[in-house]
Chains A and B, each alone.
Chain A
Amino acid sequence: MKDFDLIIVGAGPGGSMAAKTAAEKGLKTIFFERSRKPGEKNSSGCGLGPRMFRDFPEMMKELTPDKCPSMRAGTASRNYFVNNDDIVSGYIMARPTESVSYEPAKSWITMNVYRSEFDPWIAKFATDAGAELKTSTLIVDLLKEDGKICGVIDEKGEKYRAPIVIGADGVISTVAQKSGLRNKWAQNQVTLTLQYDFQAPSDKIDDIMGDETLAVWWGSNFPASYQVFFNDGFHQGLGNWMNWWDKNPLYYLNRVINLKYYQRLLKILDAKPRELQSHLLPWLDYPFNTHTDSVILIGDAGGFPCPLEAEGIYPAMVTGKIAAEVASEAVTSGDVSKATLKRFDEEWQNTSIGKEFEAGCELWNIWKALPFSPKETMSWFVPMIMEILGGIFDWSQPHALRVRQIISHVKSYMPKATPFIMTYVFPLIAKVFEDDLDKLMDPKKIMKVLPKLLDMLPQKKKKRGG
């Protein structure tokens, strides 16, 4: 039996942040990793957001290419719109806009890194602070005495004792299961995400993509697919909720890879498939059951990835830091009860993560209905968007006539677009502006007004100069 002040199961970014924070507060801390080194079992989550650099500046300024050779800053992002015939019918490229308020968000939208490099880098902050990292060790159970949790047990039966255990052990969390906080996610609380890694020469990526290092492919024949560029390669992946799949998930990813446009991209980038990865990812509208007596769940184990696009590392680091601070006070005071650890919820709810989840339900709903509903929504959404964006750049008719043609055609999408806007967009707008939009939310009223408005637009009243 080994005694500690704090045990953390998992040495991903959340577990390492918790271990660093606890060790700096003087707690005798141990954190466990089932693989030989942190990051070895992790895939995806590799786009670091600017909030990490704003909120953890002292750490993040030390992330340099000599320690993390895969890193590539992504200034611009691209959204490809793929039509029902699997043809790229248009794309939008965007850089950080004028309203972005701080550095480095003004300079780039994402810093891309491989987890096999990033996770060991962040774990070293914890070991440098004095935390003990035990690798190649699978924790299989919680240690209990008189029904109370007081540590963990590894697969060899070795026991480790501490008054508090932080579960940083990812989506399938042993700590969550054994503490009774959660046996299993519901099928609509977790997604399956798979991706190929392609290798590509660094100079080819520089020449062809420039600083566009993030792309999303929107189509009706596959769930929205992300592309993330690193120094010498890129990921192409996609995901959806567990109960969405009707055939092997690889079928949908291969549909993206086999787009003619994509094949051309692979060719000019001189790209070759290098690795296949698959993992589960919690995707919640709001985290729940995050703590009980002697236990706190953070990061993926606690269900903290962003409810819109599932950014996971930043929420894991924020919740890891808070969990360690709350644990430190609880251990010092000798009160590790659920009532005391409730402060964990109060604290994270007061951060950028908490603010994100205030609109969690609306963000989750719109994501599920749009990019994760390719057949139902993207099948009309892509042609409609491209009719508007692409239609005006056309000289097949006098320009005024073209505008009337476009509006007339867009009208044909309204029977599908209007209920979508009513159901998903207006509630989000109401939440964003913290206003009651009851008047707008009444579908009958909108359906009465909207067609009239649209009817007014294409009508040609009289000839000018006639």
Chain B
Amino acid sequence: MKIELEGLTNRVPGTGDFITIDYAKCNNCECCLIICVMNLWRKKEGKIYIVDDYQSKCLECAACYQICDASAIKFQYPTGGTGIVFEKG
């Protein structure tokens, strides 16, 4: 059984950017690629990045921020009143 993730999350749009990566600090350890449940971190041509539409997919768990021992990932919760909504949390 494959569970389709599409439709399993609700959001209030308008978060703005709330996750950024500092390439001066990133050491390419790839921990963020493994830890993200939604698979939003990718690597292309040796460079790690977060997908463009992460704001409409992110679960706001902050795992990428926590796992980053290089402190390259900056995370601040989205603007008040926006972002993920857990109706059955």
Contacts and interface: CB of A to CB of B under 8 A. Distances in A.
Interface of A: 34-36, 39-44, 46, 70, 114-116, 135-138, 140, 154-155, 171-172, 184-185, 187, 190, 192, 194, 196-197, 199, 230, 233, 242-243, 245-250, 254, 257-258, 263, 266, 273-280
Among A233, A263, A273: residue with most chain B CB under 10 A: A273
Given A34-B80, A36-B12, A248-B37, A114 B67 contact: no
B88 A233 contact: yes
A255 to B, nearest CB: 11
17 contacts: A36-B85, A40-B85, A41-B83, A42-B86, A42-B89, A115-B86, A116-B89, A135-B81, A138-B80, A155-B79, A187-B69, A192-B37, A192-B61, A230-B88, A242-B67, A273-B3, A280-B61
B37 A275 contact: no
A41 B86 contact: yes
A36 B89 contact: no
B3 A46 contact: no
Contact of B89 (A115, A185, A257): A115
B3 A36 contact: no
A280 B63 contact: yes
A276 B35 contact: no
A39 B89 contact: yes
B75 interface: yes
Given A185-B66, A233-B88, A242-B66, A263 B77 contact: no
Nearest to A272: B3
Contacts of A196: 3, 8
Sorted from nearest, which 3 A-B pairs have the closest CB atoms?
A136-B81, A43-B89, A197-B88
User: Size range of the interface on B?
Assistant: 35 or more
B60 to A, nearest CB: 7
A245 B67 CA distance: 11
Contacts of B3: 196, 254, 257, 273
Among A70, A116, A242, A275: residue with most chain B CB under 10 A: A275
Contact of A172 (B8, B38, B65, B86): B65
A274 to B, nearest CB: 6
Given A257-B3, A280-B66, A46 B36 contact: no
Contacts of A230: 88
Contacts of A185: 66
B9 interface: yes
Interface string B2-45: 11110011101000000000000000000000111111000000
Interface of B: 1-5, 8-10, 12, 34-39, 59-63, 65-67, 69, 71, 75-81, 83-89
Contact of B62 (A36, A46, A194, A280): A280
A258 B1 contact: yes
A187 B86 contact: no
A154 B79 CA distance: 10
Among B3, B75, B78: residue with most chain A CB under 10 A: B3
A275 B35 contact: no
Given A34-B80, A185-B66, A114 B5 contact: no
Given A42-B89, A197-B88, A248 B66 contact: no
B15 to A, nearest CB: 11
Contacts of A258: 1
B81 A276 contact: no
Contacts of A34: 77, 80-81
Contacts of A44: 89
Contacts of B36: 248
Contact of B60 (A41, A155, A190, A194): A41
B34 A278 contact: no
A116 B66 contact: no
A40 B86 contact: yes
Nearest to A138: B80
B61 A35 contact: no
B81 A35 contact: yes
A154 B80 contact: yes
Nearest to B16: A155
Contacts of A40: 85-86
B29 to A, nearest CB: 11
Nearest to B37: A278
Given A185-B66, A192-B61, A274 B75 contact: no
A249 B12 CA distance: 25
Contacts of B35: 192, 242, 245, 249
B67 A155 contact: no
Contacts of B8: 196, 273-276
Contact of B80 (A136, A172, A266, A276): A136
A150 B88 CA distance: 37
A183 B36 CA distance: 21
B5 to A, nearest CB: 6
Contact of A194 (B4, B9, B37): B37
B25 to A, nearest CB: 14
B66 to A, nearest CB: 6
A246 B33 CA distance: 10
